[in-house]
Amino acid sequence: MQAPVQRIGKYPAVLQGLHSLAQQGSEEQRRLSEAIRCIQPVAAHVNEMQQIRQDFGATFDELAELFHQVYPHKPLVDLSIGELRMFGTVEWLNSAESLGGSQADHQQQQQQQQQQQQHPQLCTSCFVFRHAVVLLCQEPRPADEAANTVGNYDLIRFQTVIPATDVQVRCGLSNDAQRSYLWDLVHLASIEDNRVEKLYQLANSSAEARDDFLKTIRQAVRDAARVATEQHQQQQQQSRAAAATASARESQQLPAAITASTAAARRRPLRRSSSLWQPVTKRPRAPPILADPQQATGIRAAPPALQTRRQAERAVW
């Protein structure tokens, strides 16, 4: 038995056989010609995806698992063939920096040029997925090792996966004489991940290929930013909904708690503390002021000015 994806490659042959048996110039032959024209690109794409899955499927699975181990706090990177948007070969101009050496001075740059001349068969492939970019640098195995090896005959010298949220592309210079169209793939720096910025200088043999890479990667960056924004808004809505639910629950519980405490206070008998019942010391009252100091002994007499004023008030009344 064959899977449905394996039968797609046989459809063009079936349609070609029906087309050869149809009457010349008939409506059936015209429709068969249109069906053949539509099915050929589909069959070619399916065969191409199957070949990529056969050659790089295990590598993509390992990269996805390694990325999850290194960055467990980040979302998983889906490197399945169904998420692949574009792929192709590119020329990696500063490959010596990652494969060994740096561009610190002129002497090291000469060493890099010598290294590139020693490895002319290096093949670099760029795969643009929906939410990530994968860069692979391969080298053919020696003839003696390839004869004893089953499966993929290329040694992977370098491999990396860059999430679409951490990638940036820039269009470089163009050299029509040498048919070299430059562009930069930038892995942005991150303080959280303790990572410095990494620059990959790439080139294509045609302006159309370079523009397709730039357009596809920028679209992946926009899609990743939109998804991140939607997730952030969804988290904010969930947090606001949780806060509103907690506030409503507290508002429902507060009147019940007040009612229960009031009822308990009414049922509870009053207790008077012994400290509240203390004897009150009365102040001694001042002795009355008499008009005639001879009325009582020991009673203070009013001053003469006050006596004169009281006599004037009595006269007025």
**Both tokens of residue 177?**
């004489």
Could you tell me how far CA 76 lies from the centroid of its own chain? 11
Given a contact cutoff of 8 angstroms between Cβ atoms, the answer to whether 152 and 140 are in contact is: no
In a domain, 92, yes or no: yes
Other CB atoms within 10 A of residue 166 CB: 20
Residue 220 domain-assigned? yes
pLDDT digits (tens, 9 = 90+) for 254-298: 666 666 666 666 665 555 555 555 555 556 666 555 555 555 455
278 falls within a domain: no
Instruction: Provide the residue type at 263 as one letter.
Output: A
63 located within any domain: yes
The domain tally of the chain equals: 1
pLDDT in tens, 207-220: 899 999 999 999 99
Please give the Cα distance from 126 to 209 (Å, whole number). 12
- The 3-class SS string of 175-201 reads ECCCCEEEEEEEECCECCCCECCEEEE
Q: In terms of Cα–Cα distance, which of 47, 35, 41 is closest to 9?
A: 47
CATH number at residue 199: 2.30.29.30
Model's pTM, two decimal places? 0.62
Residue 197 lies inside a defined structural domain of this protein = yes
Domain that holds residue 195: 4-99+121-233
- Within a domain: residue 177? yes
Q: Which helix or strand (DSSP H or E) is residue 107 part of?
A: helix 106-118
Using the predicted structure, report yes or no on whether residue 84 has a pLDDT greater than 70: yes
Q: What is the pLDDT of residues 98-154, one digit of tens each?
A: 665 544 544 554 555 455 444 457 889 999 999 999 999 888 766 555 444 444 446
| 28, 29, 260 from 33: Cα distances, Å | 9, 6, 85
